[in-house]
Structure 1
Amino acid sequence: MAVQNGLSINSCPLADSEEKCPLLKDDVEDLDDSVPPRCCSARYNLAIMMFFGFSVVYGLRVNLSVAMVVMVNGTNIQPVLNSSSGHECPAPSHGLDNSSQDGDQPDGIPQYSWDPQTQGLLLGAFFFGYLVTQIPGGYLAGHFGGSIFLGGGVLGTAALTLLTPLAAKLGPYWLFSLRALEGLGEGVTFPAMMAMWACWSPPLERSRLITFSGAGANFGAFVSLPLTGFICHSLGWPAVFYMCGGAGCIWAVFWFLLVSDQPSSHPRISKRERDYIITSIGREGGVHGWSVPVLPMMLSVPLWATILSQMCSNWSYYTMLTSLPTYMDTVLHFDLRQNAFLSALPYLGAWAFSVISGVIADRLLEKKLLSVTAVRKLFTITGLLLPAAFLVAVGFSGCSGVLAVTFLTLSTTIGGTSAAGIFINQIDIAPRYAGVLLGITNTFGTIPGVVAPIVTGYLTQDQTVAGWRSVFCLSAGISAAGALIFTVFGSGKVQKWAMAEEDQNETEADPEKDPLIT
């Protein structure tokens, strides 16, 4: 094992190598002078780079959702809408001035005759690829380090995005395949993020660092949705994919220049910060070897609680992410620019609440007011159960655009608090295998991304209020089920199979000892 300045990389101080090295060390907590400043630190600079990286990632992911509104020739599906007795919301029922779609982009931009089922398949195509690389990406990032996988995933997805107009011109099968390939590239990004934080995040800063970096996803959705509408209106929908793809390529250049896998290999980190991070993480964090405890993972009840709860939460999230612009267009009849802005509004609140929830969660742990388990359950219940109630309200808001937008915004905003709950629970229960576990949970959690748009397309094929009510109520019920599952079976305690061998032996000798404050 490599050694630098009296510290073993990804381990405890050499002087303490024979002693227990818990994940939350009292000697680190009590020495305020040992905690380096957060401002301009290497760990917070990493969080900022990840934040912008995931902003780009979600821009690449959701741009098709808005562009789809103008990529499709609506006149070809109009007879279906007119044949429905449930087309209850003629424009402008919400009291806003809606303009025709005809002027929403320059002349000569191609449009395609894709029915709602085809649109649902194209919107879900990304997730077919996204499923495949989650576990391999998490495993390899946990062994080799996450920076190459996170940066490479964004770069590959961005480069493929540049080909979207060509694929659409060739036909829906080509576009489906391209979106699936984009999913392959992006699938490694979140597991790689968690693998990096296993090496970089001190336990008492973990919630705020991870939620801030992951909040880039909501921020990216908030910015890219209205920006996509504006670009479609001004330059035509192909320009969206050229500009988003170019932004991803530029970000990747800065990522590879500025980021290191571990504090020990960062060329610009201070000795004080490096020692603080390595000491506070201890031997439970860092990279893992080639072997992982697969069978204990498969039999772990807390892990399955996280998996199932994330699947339930993602169902409503991905339904909104992929289908909300269609709802705004076909039911509430907002024009393209109103559609894009109002579809983005919920993600502004989710971004703010996810960042705030991370800070509050860390403060609760610092003050020892609640255990890790209690904190994760509190934010999971808040982030799943309350949004479910507002989704039901959306379903019964009828043709009122004001009510629908208000309830959707409240639902997604409060849902952001789950970022400090189930969405960082992997690093609680198994820090050294956090990348692998995020790959596993994201693999299962991506299944709703594949299924939800297809189910939405089926339920809303006539674009009626009743059909969309079914979509929102189904999402609400699934979210509530996720909250219940994690409340009963979830945990924030490091699992025995994830401990270093020395800590396993100490726990067996003294069951009262615990490497985490749980």
Structure 2
Amino acid sequence: MSSEGDAKTTVRNISTDDKLIMTQEQSAKKGFCSVRYGLALILLICNFSIYTQQLSLSIAITTMVNQTTLQGQPNASLDTQDDWNATQDEVQAKAPTYDWNPEIQGIILSSFSYGSFVAPIPVGYVAGVLGAKYVVGAGLFFTSVLSLLIPVSADAGVAALIVVRVIQGITQDMVLTSQYSLWVRWAPPVERSQLINIATSGTMLGSFIVLLVGGFICQAIGWPYVFYIFGGIGCVCCLLWFSLAYDDPENHPFISADEKRYIVCSLAQEDNLPGWSLPIKAMIKSLPLWAILVSYFCQYWTINTILSYTPTYLNSVLQFSVRDSGILSSLPFIATGIGIMLSGFLADFLLSRRILRLVTIRKLLTCIGIVSSCALLMALHWIRFNRSATVIFLILCIFLAGIPQAGSIVNIIDIAPRYASFLKGIIQLFVAIDGVIAPTVAGILINQDSVLGWRNIFLIASAINIVGLIFYLIFGQAHEQDWAKK
């Protein structure tokens, strides 16, 4: 009798403990007032900061040179031209100007990407082994200090400015590449998409803000203050990062016991501790990995083309003024950020409710984003005579292009969490190649034919995207690969 009573008591206690654990886990899941979402918000601010610094020179260089002409603006009136010249005189009185011809300007602007061909892979490897906190923090600190030094380096000469921009590009790669290794230890599988996408949306928010206010800062108080303001914001972000960011929840001093237990238990089945060795041969032979890389390359071909040539398209084809085209050019960035965040919430909702398998979610979101954005992109040429419709289609296109961020883009953490940071470095290399090839091809097509060239740009970008989508749908997977396990 006593044994039966003890057994019932034991069962009752186990049941009570299970309910308690489930209650604690549910409380850890609720709301956004948790440490892991706070970490995503801090990374959003960090990504915001580095992208404002990256694009500051693109905005400021129009006032840094002492001769700025308004070419290819058929709708620019004489009054507008006079107002622009008057504004330029006021700006030049507030800050120094330089005799840089268009070729020198192009070299200066492109120098930021030089380090992207060598830095991301070793940075990703080191961050995966040593942890991301100090790699991300160091990259954010150095790029912010270098942003503050750009006015001084511009006075020192073109060579000094190019050196500063090359180093700044390398330090920003440290931030963009290393942060992926954090989510291997911080993001539960059912929240992985939204946490990563919240952090990533900071890049688009930064691009939106700097395009929106950078020109006003240059005209109001002088171009050096663009670098001082956004560089100073980066320095403040460094203090925030080093104070609140930790490599894993076990070592975080402020995390609740419930949230720590929830994160650790949700990741218990994943073998995500990196090592010094890399299965390079297995990676090269892995078709699921190649599916992600090809999909990434094809998607960023379109994104780089649209984001690089939106001001030119609005100005030369739709006949918007310089000021209006600058404001409208910022809208696709915020649209992409919204698309990225919404797709992350949708992916994790479908996974947490067990509505679809993870691999189905990744492929479905990738397919929806690419097919719909390509349809709108191809339609741009035939609706170009309606400016309002064209702007709406352009914004919707880039909004939908952000949806695959919760599909193939975050898929590397699914197939190889142990090497996520290193693989992100490889992806950054593909993005750098995209950044060189896609705008160059677009420029050649526009130079050949100013009207049909745009049609060919849209058709080529759509075709490349569809090819990448087909490859990903065939070979993409979402389970951890054998070569990624210990």
TM range, smaller chain: 0.7 to 0.9
CA drift at 1:446? 2.0
Q: Where does residue 75 of structure 2 map in the other structure?
A: 91
CA drift at 1:142? 1.1
Within the candidate set 322, 325, 337, 1:351 is matched to 337
Q: Distance in 2 between matches of 1:331 and 1:427?
A: 41
- Confirm whether residue 114 of structure 1 aligns to residue 101 of structure 2: yes
Q: Which has the higher contact order (CA 8 A, sep 6+)?
A: 1
Which has the higher mean CA deviation after the structures are superposed, 354-363 or 286-295?
286-295
Q: Where does residue 270 of structure 1 map in the other structure?
A: 256
Q: Where does residue 22 of structure 2 map in the other structure?
A: 31
- The answer (yes or no) to whether the contact 2:62–2:68 under 8 Å persists in 1 is no
- Confirm whether residue 102 of structure 1 aligns to residue 85 of structure 2: yes
- Confirm whether residue 179 of structure 1 aligns to residue 183 of structure 2: no
Change (3 A) 1:174 1:399: farther
> Where do 1:54-73 residues align within 5 Å?
54-71=47-64
Q: Distance in 2 between matches of 1:128 and 1:339?
A: 28
Q: Distance in 2 between matches of 1:399 and 1:383?
A: 26
Within the candidate set 127, 138, 150, 2:124 is matched to 138
CA drift at 1:286? 4.0
> Where do 1:231-250 residues align within 5 Å?
231-250=217-236
> Where do 1:283-362 residues align within 5 Å?
283-332=269-318, 334-362=320-348
Change (3 A) 1:291 1:457: same
Q: Distance in 2 between matches of 1:387 and 1:374?
A: 20
CA drift at 1:256? 0.5
Taking structure 1 as the reference length, the TM-score comes to 0.81
- The answer (yes or no) to whether the contact 1:124–1:449 under 8 Å persists in 2 is no
Give the number of aligned pairs.
460
CA drift at 1:366? 1.4
- The answer (yes or no) to whether the contact 1:144–1:287 under 8 Å persists in 2 is no
Q: Distance in 2 between matches of 1:45 and 1:259?
A: 9
- The answer (yes or no) to whether the contact 1:62–1:321 under 8 Å persists in 2 is no
Q: Distance in 2 between matches of 1:256 and 1:32?
A: 32
Within the candidate set 222, 227, 241, 1:255 is matched to 241
Change (3 A) 1:154 1:348: same
- The answer (yes or no) to whether the contact 1:203–1:281 under 8 Å persists in 2 is yes
- The answer (yes or no) to whether the contact 1:69–1:326 under 8 Å persists in 2 is no
Which has the higher mean CA deviation after the structures are superposed, 247-256 or 129-138?
129-138
> What root-mean-square deviation, in Å, do the aligned CA atoms of Structure 1 and Structure 2 show?
2.8
CA drift at 1:452? 2.9
Q: 5+ residue gaps in structure 2?
A: 1-17
CA drift at 1:69? 4.3
Q: Where does residue 224 of structure 1 map in the other structure?
A: 210
Q: Where does residue 125 of structure 1 map in the other structure?
A: 111
**Deviation per residue, 1:18-77 (Å, 9 max, x gap):** xxxxxxxxx99x935424134321111101101111111221222233334444566668
Q: Where does residue 490 of structure 1 map in the other structure?
A: 476
- Alignment-mate amino acid for residue 75 of structure 2: A
Change (3 A) 1:118 1:418: farther
Within the candidate set 388, 396, 413, 2:374 is matched to 388
- Alignment-mate amino acid for residue 445 of structure 1: V
* Partner SS, residue 91 of structure 1: coil
Higher helix share: 2
* Partner SS, residue 376 of structure 1: helix
Q: Distance in 2 between matches of 1:57 and 1:383?
A: 26
Which has the higher mean CA deviation after the structures are superposed, 394-403 or 191-200?
394-403
Q: Where does residue 6 of structure 2 map in the other structure?
A: none
Q: Distance in 2 between matches of 1:133 and 1:38?
A: 37
Q: Where does residue 11 of structure 2 map in the other structure?
A: none
Taking structure 2 as the reference length, the TM-score comes to 0.86
